[in-house]
Structure 1
Amino acid sequence: MTLYVEQRGERGPELVLLHGWGLSSDIWQPLVDQLAERYRLTLIDLPGLGRSEPLTETTLDSLVEVVLAKVPERALWVGWSLGGTLAVHAAAKAPGRISALMLVAASPCFVQRPDWSCGMEMNTFKAFERGLVTSPVKTLNRFAALQTQGSVRARQEFKLLKQVIADSPASSEGLVATLGVLRADLRPSLGQLRGPVTVLLGEHDPLVPVSLKDTLVTLIPDARVVCAEHSAHLPFLTEPDLFIAELDELAAQSQRGSS
């Protein structure tokens, strides 16, 4: 299969950016120039999304295997939403490949379960799955609108999300397969994480509630958990200065730990 990979920047630590469901690596473009001044970036369209072809069989293991084959041997990983799910699984599966981990609006368990209330209701999740079959564009736009609810920059962010969706449309096959990955429960994997971990949550996120903070502190005792007070599901775009400051601190912490 063909995987879309873009590399930017010529100095600084290696940085891998993983985007969310239904989108592509273009979602990072507002920050790329600034990040490329001090990081060597690897941007990937996840298999089945954006400009990357879907896998024959899409599972967490297969997705992570393909991504690991295309990124630097050791790097700081940033995973937003679905990208965070993959980053957690990769860090648990191949800890030596990841120097530090930043999870942005990401949950170890995206869908609610009997012992887990910090997620999307299963009926809502299944409605998205059905919508992808009957009206994928409408469903994607609905999901885009949901991500921006509560953000101080909701209008601008919704416009950007729609543009990214339009510029790199994914197949229904890829959308359904990658959405299914969000059914995973990675809570047991959090205890296996090694190295510095920062979690950035949006105070008004309707998908990954900020109430997750207390639970994450328990599940990842050494993690730094930060709440972006003006953000919904896209805190890296709503409050880019905060995102970059936390990223720079995480990179510095990682370098101190390896020296």
Structure 2
Amino acid sequence: MSESSLTPASEDVTVHGVHVVIIGEPAAPPLLLVHGSGATGSMWAPVVASLATRYRVITIDLPGCGRSAPMSTYTVARQADRVAAAMDELGVGDLRVVGHSSGGYVATALVERRTDLVGGLVLVSTGPSHAALLPEPAIIRALTAPPFGPLVWALRTGSMIRRGLAATAAAPITVPDSAVSDMRRTSYRAFRAILAANVDYIATRPVPERLAEAGKPLLVIFGDRDPRWDPASAHDYEVVPGAQVHHLRGVGHLAMLEDPDALARSILDGAP
């Protein structure tokens, strides 16, 4: 699905420093889409139109990413608090929240810290613990790791960003131009701080254990060829009472770009 097929945004605002785009009928139930590390809300573009047939779709740029303001510290809890403040200001409640990759940590923290705000949770390619992490592709290390990471990051082109993303996919992808443009806004400092915060979050306690106590409906979606997190680790979430686990065939880490129709169907059919 092309970006041009998207329904026009009903709102495009920045609230509490968080850039928010809202698409869909105001009376529809709200669905918040949370991107992963180094990405932005515009990464969800290929699935938004489909999801907006049923939901009022809300995409955000997490703090320090894309068009959102930076923070002094990027703990996952503080990121979640900033997102919650934005949702409160917009008058949005009873959210269904979809988190991609490490965006699932922010989504989980929202459940932990604001159980009143979240009605159900969908995690897409969200690693449950460090044990599930697979070796990082070489191009991503080149883009992000010290000592040369800051220089490469500053000089990175749209082509480099697309190649880095493609290294985490199992199928050919088309990255929206808006996503590339927004990703280039993110500073190296913010990116590294966010990565460190994610490491701390799952080192403190694995995600399935956190959600097992939360009492919220959960759908877990993984590509069966994910090169970043062991696809079999999706079953770690089965400790969460009533959790549904779904694998997308032939899909890697970027389901919204690799098979947006399959991802949208999975969310529409199974979102709690």
TM over 0.5: yes
> Is structure 2 residue 267 aligned with structure 1 residue 247?
yes
**What amino acid is aligned across from residue 76 of structure 1 in structure 2?**
R
Indicate how the Cα distance of structure 1 residues 224 and 192 shifts in structure 2: closer, same or farther if over 3 A, else same. same
Q: Which residue of 1 aligns with 2:237?
A: 216
> Is structure 2 residue 155 aligned with structure 1 residue 135?
no
Name the CA distance, whole Å, in 1 between partners of 2:257 and 2:135: 26
Contact 1:77–1:101 under 8 Å retained in 2: yes
The count of residues paired between Structure 1 and Structure 2 equals 239
**What amino acid is aligned across from residue 115 of structure 2 in structure 1?**
P
Deviations 1:120-172 (A, max 9, x none): 45998987442532311378556413211x22xx2xx2x40676233442111
What percentage of residue pairs aligned between the two structures are identical? 26
Q: Which residue of 2 aligns with 1:165?
A: 180
Structure 1's unaligned 5+ residue stretches are 255-259
Name the CA distance, whole Å, in 2 between partners of 1:123 and 1:204: 14
1:105 equivalent among 125, 145, 161? 125
Name the CA distance, whole Å, in 2 between partners of 1:190 and 1:205: 22
How far off its partner does 1:3 sit?
1.6
Please give the secondary structure, in 2, of the residue aligned with 1:41. Answer: strand
Contact 2:94–2:117 under 8 Å retained in 1: yes
Name the CA distance, whole Å, in 2 between partners of 1:93 and 1:2: 19
- Give 4+ residue runs of structure 1 displaced > 3 Å after superposition: 120-129, 138-143
Q: Which residue of 2 aligns with 1:226?
A: 246
Contact 2:23–2:58 under 8 Å retained in 1: yes
**What amino acid is aligned across from residue 262 of structure 2 in structure 1?**
L
Please give the secondary structure, in 2, of the residue aligned with 1:198. Answer: strand
Indicate how the Cα distance of structure 1 residues 250 and 70 shifts in structure 2: closer, same or farther if over 3 A, else same. farther
Deviations 1:47-104 (A, max 9, x none): 1111112101111111000001112222100000121111112112222211110000
**What amino acid is aligned across from residue 92 of structure 1 in structure 2?**
E
Name the CA distance, whole Å, in 2 between partners of 1:221 and 1:142: 39
> Is structure 2 residue 221 aligned with structure 1 residue 200?
yes
Name the CA distance, whole Å, in 1 between partners of 2:56 and 2:177: 28
Q: Which residue of 2 aligns with 1:16?
A: 32
How far off its partner does 1:250 sit?
3.3
Name the CA distance, whole Å, in 1 between partners of 2:31 and 2:67: 20
Deviations 1:160-208 (A, max 9, x none): 0676233442111221111222212141313223221000000110112
TM-score w.r.t. length of structure 1: 0.82
Name the CA distance, whole Å, in 2 between partners of 1:97 and 1:34: 24
**What amino acid is aligned across from residue 119 of structure 1 in structure 2?**
L
Q: Which residue of 1 aligns with 2:258?
A: 238
Q: Which residue of 2 aligns with 1:50?
A: 66
Q: Which residue of 1 aligns with 2:12?
A: none
